[in-house]
Chain A
Amino acid sequence: MRLGRYDVTLEPRTTRPAFYSSLTAAGAILLALALASVLFLSAQTPLLEAYRAIFSYAFFNPNGLLATIHRSIYLLLCTYAFLVPLRAGLWNIGLPGQVYAGGVAAFAIPFVFRTQEAQTLSLPPVLLILLMVASAAAAGAVVGGFAGILRARFQVSEILVTMMLNSILFWLVAYMIKEGGPFMSPRGEGESFALPPALHAPLLWGVPFTAVLALGAAVFLDILFAKTPLGYRIRAFGQSPAAARYGGIIPLALSLLVFLLGGGFAGLAGYHYFAALPGVYKISGNYGYYGDLSFYGIISALIARGSSLGAVPIAVLFAGLSLGARFAQGELRLPFGVDYALLGLLMMTFVASHVLYQFRVAWRRVPSLALRHAPTQLPPG
């Protein structure tokens, strides 16, 4: 493209230093926040007050801070669920479905052992809690692995399959908890039975133990991708499946593995939200909202460019933003859905930053001689 005396082209970047990844990530997030001002202005809300309300509730209010921590754990687990397949070049957008599967499987344990009404437990509570965690992770992994195996075996688009599974599991949860479904609460309010207090997830300093899982997984995944042969295979497969096959990497096993692992994390996220959060301990009627929230996990994995440690601050920030936006919405009488709008804006600025990450804008001055018209006629005389 010609702009005045300059020739402007987009050229692929040959090197992408780490600081540049952080720079584009920060740029994308700041730009999304700036664009969100348009929403506040159109609702005739003072800008500074809106941002102050969001951040002060999310990070400086004791209740808000605790809620932010709880939500960060959830978003982090969702982030890993998307991140692991992404490193292999696959898109796991089945996070909501895998989260629902995890929630249902966790509640299936007390249901099967008949502990939801009677206070007498047939097994020690610690064992039951471990079983709940394991079954949630396994259910998420099975749902994810199903998409993975179809992708690997038949080249079925994993995007379509995981999306179909989202809808299927959404209605499965509705069936389980509504209109006389097996998990319906005895009071019948369109939500599941509440977990007996003995099965509440143990708290460490007021935070469920899932926090340890979420932070430990960040370190584990970072080491997996940076230092182990398996991580290398996943990355190689993500960069070029054809080249990876020549290198002796089996696509079937690898696609299945990343989806099993990813689905397992999403299942744990389901366990965390429905069975480990103080004050919840049930599958609530608005479970669909938590499914939607899991899309923040997609964006934080994308913005972190597949780095699990890098995703930690991003997920915490998104947790705070989505909570604070809900709070500010009530406080300042904004229209519903600021958190959804922010989700959309973040995705848009990510795509824009992705272009700048992959390409650099090259400005080249066109030699001035080339611009000057050569005389076509001899001057008179």
Chain B
Amino acid sequence: MWELLARSLEASTIFLFAALGELINQRAGVLNVGLEGLMLFGGTTAFITAQATGSYPLGFVAGLAIGGLLGLAHGFFSITLRGDQVVSGMGLWILSFGLTTYLGNPHTGPLGLGRIASFFGLSPFFVLGVALVGITWFLLFRTTQGLAIRSVGENPAAAEGSGISVTAVRYVCVLCGGVLAGLSGAAYTLSYNPVWNYNFLMGWGFVSLALVFFSMWNPWILLAGASLFGIMWQLSLSPELVLPGVLSRYVWRMVPFAITIPILSVISTPWFRRRWGLARPEALGRPYEKS
């Protein structure tokens, strides 16, 4: 049972890293729907680098770097060029989906390095994830810089008026978001499931994106949501542990996605928005034009 729980928490870390990055992005008013693409690229680059050099740290550095670069690319399009953020995000996703399938294919198969050490079966990344949640919360809600980020996401014109550079804050946030998405991909291919496969994420990135909406842009709720989804995901992979012989395993694989849709609908209702959802950044997805 502990093994299953530890494994679930490791799965939830993947959701957590990516979603935390997206949360920071969105708090600054930038929507990146291409999260899955950043994760795919980060994961694939980390995998190839680690396999080629035999070094985990180098793999992580490569994954984080490529995630950051793609985050900046999204930033350039959506902040500097003030383009449509959905177009750019979707572009990043399909670009990464196509290119990583090509680049990673010769590396299909296991990583072939020793597994990363764990504390009594619990992945060190989960600890890192909880720490990052704490840091993000403190940064966003207890520091001047956090106030700057939130104000840029709510009302960029007013923020600019009070002496904050909207462009600079948004760039820093998309960089953080990209790096965290890269970390999430790298944690997947180097630790959670060190086997490269074509399109290995199969929708994790989009679930992470949905988690940000569930979390009402609060890191602690995000942590709880990611943990729940991690457990659900792990159970859907091995349903025989709970309900042996009930329904096909393929039906269980649909469950996490099927649950996401009604939750998304409930949190989008006017009733819920009035009651809880006021945290949605006001300027989310809207480019800012300095006047």
Chain B stretch 192-221: residues in CB contact (< 8 A) with chain A: 198-199, 202-203, 206-207, 209-210, 213
A165: chain B residues at CB < 8 Å are 257, 261
Q: A154 within 8 Å of B by Cβ? A: yes
**Contact, CB under 8 Å: B94 / A344:** yes
Q: B118 within 8 Å of A by Cβ? A: no
Known: A164-B203, A171-B254. A345 touches B248 (CB 8 A): no
- Cα of A163 to Cα of B250 in the assembled complex, Å: 17
**Contact, CB under 8 Å: A340 / B98:** yes
B168: chain A residues at CB < 8 Å are none
5 tightest CB-CB pairs across the interface, nearest first?
A: A344-B98, A341-B102, A175-B250, A340-B101, A337-B102
Q: B97 within 8 Å of A by Cβ? A: yes
**Contact, CB under 8 Å: B81 / A159:** no
**Contact, CB under 8 Å: B81 / A359:** yes
CB distance from B279 to the nearest CB of A (A): 16
Known: A156-B265, A351-B87, A355-B81. A345 touches B106 (CB 8 A): no
Q: B83 within 8 Å of A by Cβ? A: yes
Known: A171-B251, A175-B248, A350-B91. A150 touches B261 (CB 8 A): yes
Q: How many residues of A contact B (CB 8 A)?
A: 48
Q: A172 within 8 Å of B by Cβ? A: yes
Chain B stretch 37-82: residues in CB contact (< 8 A) with chain A: 77, 81
CB distance from A366 to the nearest CB of B (A): 20
- Cα of A161 to Cα of B225 in the assembled complex, Å: 18
B269: chain A residues at CB < 8 Å are 154
**Contact, CB under 8 Å: B264 / A156:** yes
Chief secondary structure at chain B's binding surface: helix
Q: B253 within 8 Å of A by Cβ? A: yes
- Cα of A295 to Cα of B206 in the assembled complex, Å: 16
Tell me the nearest residue of chain B to A350, going by C-beta. B91
**Contact, CB under 8 Å: A150 / B265:** yes
CB distance from A82 to the nearest CB of B (A): 11
- Cα of A128 to Cα of B173 in the assembled complex, Å: 57
B206: chain A residues at CB < 8 Å are 159-160, 163-164
A67: chain B residues at CB < 8 Å are none
Q: A342 within 8 Å of B by Cβ? A: yes
Enumerate chain B interface residues (CB-CB to A < 8 A). Answer: 33, 77, 81, 83-84, 86-88, 90-91, 94-99, 101-103, 105-106, 198-199, 202-203, 206-207, 209-210, 213, 248-251, 253-254, 257-258, 260-261, 264-265, 268-269
Number of A-B contacts (CB under 8 A): 135
B260: chain A residues at CB < 8 Å are 160, 164
- Cα of A65 to Cα of B201 in the assembled complex, Å: 35
A39: chain B residues at CB < 8 Å are 102
- Cα of A340 to Cα of B77 in the assembled complex, Å: 23
Q: Mark A92-134, 1 if CB is under 8 A from B, else 0.
A: 0100000000000000000000000000000000000000000
**Contact, CB under 8 Å: B248 / A347:** no
- Cα of A187 to Cα of B86 in the assembled complex, Å: 45
Report which of B81, B258, B265 forms a contact with A168, defined as CB distance below 8 A: B258
B94: chain A residues at CB < 8 Å are 295, 298-299, 343-344, 347
**Contact, CB under 8 Å: B268 / A154:** yes
User: Can you spell out 6 A-B residue pairs with CB atoms less than 8 angstroms apart?
Assistant: A159-B33, A166-B203, A295-B94, A340-B98, A341-B98, A347-B94
Enumerate chain A interface residues (CB-CB to B < 8 A). Answer: 10, 39, 91, 93, 150, 154-157, 159-161, 163-168, 171-172, 174-175, 178-179, 181, 292, 295, 298-299, 302, 335-338, 340-345, 347-348, 350-351, 354-355, 358-359
CB distance from A179 to the nearest CB of B (A): 6
- Cα of A175 to Cα of B102 in the assembled complex, Å: 28
Tell me the nearest residue of chain B to A161, going by C-beta. B261
A156: chain B residues at CB < 8 Å are 261, 264-265, 268
**Contact, CB under 8 Å: B95 / A91:** no
Tell me the nearest residue of chain A to B248, going by C-beta. A175
- Cα of A292 to Cα of B93 in the assembled complex, Å: 13
CB distance from A181 to the nearest CB of B (A): 7
Report which of A160, A171, A299 forms a contact with B209, defined as CB distance below 8 A: A160
B251: chain A residues at CB < 8 Å are 171, 175
Tell me the nearest residue of chain A to B91, going by C-beta. A351
Known: A155-B268, A335-B106, A340-B101. A355 touches B83 (CB 8 A): yes
**Contact, CB under 8 Å: B102 / A10:** no
**Contact, CB under 8 Å: A163 / B203:** yes
- Cα of A303 to Cα of B221 in the assembled complex, Å: 40
**Contact, CB under 8 Å: B95 / A344:** yes
Known: A175-B251, A337-B101, A341-B99. A154 touches B265 (CB 8 A): yes
Tell me the nearest residue of chain B to A10, going by C-beta. B81
- Cα of A224 to Cα of B202 in the assembled complex, Å: 36
- Cα of A157 to Cα of B81 in the assembled complex, Å: 24
CB distance from B259 to the nearest CB of A (A): 9
B83: chain A residues at CB < 8 Å are 351, 354-355, 358
